[in-house]
Amino acid sequence: MEMLSEIGAGESAVVTSNEAGELLKERLLSLGLTKGAVIEVLRKGPKNNLTVYRIRGAMIALRKEESSLIKVSLAK
């Protein structure tokens, strides 16, 4: 099991759990980061601080601090 922040550009992963605090967890859930959701890593920004993901047809950007709270497994 890996954290979302560790997945490389061009790879896909499936959300297994959300370890964020209450307020951030609500925000991430409203963006579609629910258990079983497939996430594609589109590109990483400078110093890997900001990463763009595609989830459920929408593009979202998360900071490393946020994406390191999402546990994922690589999609097959």
For residue range 13-43, what is the model confidence (pLDDT) as tens digits?
Answer: 999 999 999 999 999 999 999 999 999 999 9
What's the DSSP call for residue 10?
A: T
Q: Whole domain around residue 53: which residue ranges?
A: 2-74
CA–CA distance, 6 with 51 (Å, rounded to integer): 11
Average pLDDT over residues 48-73: 94
pLDDT at 46 over 90: no
Domain count, the chain: 1
Give the end-to-end CA distance of the chain in Å, rounded to a whole number: 14
Answer whether 43's CB lies under 8 Å from 60's CB: no
Q: Which residues does 34 contact at the CB level (< 8 Å), separation at least 6?
A: 15, 18
CATH number at residue 46: 2.30.30.90
